């Protein structure tokens, strides 16, 4: 995108009783190479995502509250808790389920889909989980930055991507590191953030055309995600649970 664009997530139902705020694909943006899908989800104890198939991409689930239990046809059966992250690479195909963890009242998190380049569409599926204590968190003036994906994270993906959870108190700012040719966006899950002259509230995102010196400024006490990734520059064919 040549300019920065403010987007509002669309509220939809997914799985069995799950509530989702979907930033894309939406009526305004189909995908954002290499990013295919971005959901903020809310899952009550008796809702969830029973077993279903995927292929052709990688999914990253980052928990903001509660926990999610992941089961798949590779034999994995694990539970990722608050501020932990899991990645499954669907590759040539996988069946999995994601259901609320034991004893939680609500599961609240983010699911991101990353396209696999054509040469890797049929790799073997795999799974990785990184718990809260193994993700790097560093302090910045007025807040913290947690590296979900990137040089300081043990989570491994097949695309050059950085993914940060940034939390700032009201009035404080953060200046991101970025590559000018990468696709970049923010998503606010709490509070209100200013960037590029646009005010972004909870449930909104901005696809960013960043310039040196750009900052994210918290209007209120805020939590938001900053993602930036190298485009594959290949067609993305999003067919329900498959990305071909």
Mean pLDDT, consecutive 10-residue segments, the chain of 244 residues?
88 93 94 97 93 97 96 95 97 95 89 98 98 96 98 96 98 93 96 96 94 93 98 95 95
Structure tokens at 68: 């999610």
131: Cα separation from own chain's centroid: 16
What is the predicted pLDDT for the residue at 106?
Answer: 83
- Asked, as a colleague might, if the bond just before 232 is cis with ω within 30 of 0, I would say no
Predicted confidence at residue 18, as pLDDT, reads 92
Q: What gap in Å lies between CA 12 and CA 23, rounded to an integer?
A: 11
Q: What tokens appear for 52 in the block?
A: 């279903």
Contacts of 85 (CB under 8 A, 6+ apart): 60, 61, 62, 63, 129, 130, 135, 148, 149, 155
Burial 170-180 (b: 16+ CB within 10 A, else e): eebbbebebee
Question: What predicted TM-score, i.e. pTM, was given to this entire model?
Answer: 0.96
Q: How far apart are CA 157 and CA 128, in angstroms?
A: 10
pLDDT digits (tens, 9 = 90+) for 143-159: 999 999 999 999 999 99
- What 8-state DSSP symbol labels residue 9? P
Strand order in the sheet with 173-174: 173-174, 216-218, 192-195, 198-201
Peptide bond into 34 cis (omega under 30): yes
| Per-residue tokens: 212 | 């040196």
d(CA 76, CA 81): 16
Would you state the structure tokens that stand for residue 179, as one six-digit string?
């590559």
Question: DSSP per residue over 53-112, as a string?
Answer: EEBSEEEEEEEEES-EEEEETTS-EEEE-TT-EEEEE-TT-EEEEEEEPTT-S-EEEEEE
- So what's the pLDDT on residue 104? 84
Structural domains in the chain plus CATH codes: 5-243 (2.60.120.10)
Go through 99-110 and write b for each residue having 16 or more CB atoms within 10 A of its CB, e for each that does not. Answer: bbbeebeebbbb
């Amino acid at each position: 995108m040549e300019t920065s664009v403010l987007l509002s997530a669309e509220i939809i139902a997914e799985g069995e009783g799950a509530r989702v705020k979907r930033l894309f694909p939406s009526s305004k943006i189909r995908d954002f190479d290499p990013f295919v899908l971005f959901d903020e989800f809310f899952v009550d104890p008796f809702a969830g995502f029973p077993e279903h198939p995927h292929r052709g991409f990688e999914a990253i689930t980052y928990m903001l509250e509660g926990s999610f239990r992941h089961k798949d046809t590779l034999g994995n059966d694990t539970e990722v808790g608050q501020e932990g992250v899991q990645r499954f690479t669907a590759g040539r195909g996988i069946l999995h389920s994601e259901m609320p963890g034991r004893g939680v009242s609500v599961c609240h998190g983010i699911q991101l889909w990353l396209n696999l380049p054509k040469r890797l569409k049929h790799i073997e599926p795999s799974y990785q989980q990184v718990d809260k204590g193994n993700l790097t968190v560093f302090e910045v003036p007025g807040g913290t930055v947690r590296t979900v994906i990137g040089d300081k994270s043990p989570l491994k993906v097949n695309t050059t991507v950085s993914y940060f959870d940034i939390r700032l108190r009201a009035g404080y700012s953060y200046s991101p590191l970025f590559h000018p040719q990468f696709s970049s966006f923010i998503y606010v899950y709490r509070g209100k953030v200013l960037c590029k002259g646009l005010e972004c509230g909870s449930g909104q995102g901005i696809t960013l055309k960043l310039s040196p010196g750009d900052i994210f400024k918290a209007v209120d006490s805020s939590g938001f995600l900053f993602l930036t990734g190298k485009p594959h520059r290949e067609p993305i064919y999003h067919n329900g649970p498959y990305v071909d």
